C-alpha cells in the first residue's frame, strides 16, 4: 500500500481538531501525525510522543539543520512547530494513511512536498465574528491574546484558495459527514477536487 496524507488546516477555533479526532475515532486506517514543538506541556494532560514531541529550541534547530522536518515554522517569536519526516514514515510503516492537524502554512508545505499523495483541506467558519465567539467561549484567551489570534486569522484566511478543498464548518455534524466523504473518496479513488472547491 502506498501511504497517503490528509491535511486539515485552519485558523484556531475553526473546529479542525474536532474533525480530525472524529475521523481518527472512526477510521482505523488513519494514523495521526504528531507534531514537534518547543512550547512547554500544558499541565499533566499532555504527554511527550502522544500529544506532541516536546523539544528544546536547541534540539528543534538541530533537526532543522539536519533537514529532518518536512515543514516547520516559528509560529510566534521563539515558538517553533513542525512535522518530522520520521513521523510520516512511522505512520506509513503501520500500514496506515497519515492525517494532520497543522497550521495553514505547514499544511501547504506538506501538500507541496507530497503533491497528489496529499489532500489539503482548509476548515473555515462562516464569519470572523463567530470565530471570535468560539475562541472567547474556550475561556483560555485574554483580550490581548484574542486580538493577536484574530489578526493571525485574517492572514491565514488569505491562503484558503491554495488548498484543494475549503470545508465550511457552520454545522458540526454536517462538517463531519463532509470530511468523512472527502476522506473516503481520496483514499479509495485518489480523487482530489479542483483547487479551492468549497463544500
What are 33-73's pLDDT values in tens digits?
A: 999 999 887 777 788 888 889 999 999 999 999 999 999 98
**Dihedral pair phi/psi, residue 73, rounded to 5°:** -155, 145
How would you classify the pairing of strands 97-102 and 79-84?
Answer: unpaired
Cell output for 41 = 506541556
Global confidence as pTM: 0.84
Which comes out higher in pLDDT, residue 158 or 110?
110
pLDDT tens, position by position, 77-94: 888 999 999 999 999 999
Contact partners, residue 177, CB within 8 Å, separation at least 6: none
- Report CA 190 to chain centroid distance, whole Å: 20
Amino acid at each position: 500500500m502506498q501511504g497517503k496524507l490528509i491535511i486539515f488546516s485552519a485558523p484556531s477555533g475553526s473546529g479542525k481538531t474536532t474533525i480530525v479526532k472524529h475521523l481518527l475515532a472512526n477510521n482505523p486506517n488513519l494514523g495521526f501525525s504528531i507534531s514537534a514543538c518547543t512550547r512547554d506541556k500544558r499541565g499533566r494532560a499532555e504527554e511527550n510522543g502522544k500529544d506532541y514531541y516536546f523539544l528544546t529550541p536547541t534540539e528543534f534547530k538541530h533537526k532543522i539543520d539536519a533537514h529532518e522536518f518536512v515543514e516547520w515554522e516559528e509560529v510566534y517569536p521563539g515558538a517553533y512547530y513542525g512535522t518530522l519526516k520520521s513521523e510520516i514514515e512511522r505512520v506509513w510503516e503501520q500500514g496506515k494513511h497519515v492525517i494532520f492537524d497543522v497550521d495553514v502554512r505547514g499544511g501547504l508545505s506538506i501538500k507541496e512536498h507530497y503533491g497528489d499523495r496529499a489532500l489539503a483541506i482548509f476548515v473555515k467558519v462562516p464569519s470572523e465574528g463567530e470565530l471570535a465567539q468560539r475562541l472567547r467561549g474556550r475561556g483560555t484567551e485574554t483580550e490581548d491574546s484574542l486580538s493577536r489570534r484574530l489578526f493571525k486569522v485574517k492572514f491565514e484566511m488569505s491562503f484558503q484558495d491554495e488548498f484543494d478543498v475549503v470545508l465550511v464548518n457552520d454545522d458540526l455534524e454536517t462538517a463531519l459527514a463532509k470530511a468523512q466523504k472527502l476522506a473516503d473518496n481520496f483514499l479509495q479513488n485518489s480523487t482530489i477536487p479542483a483547487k479551492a472547491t468549497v463544500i
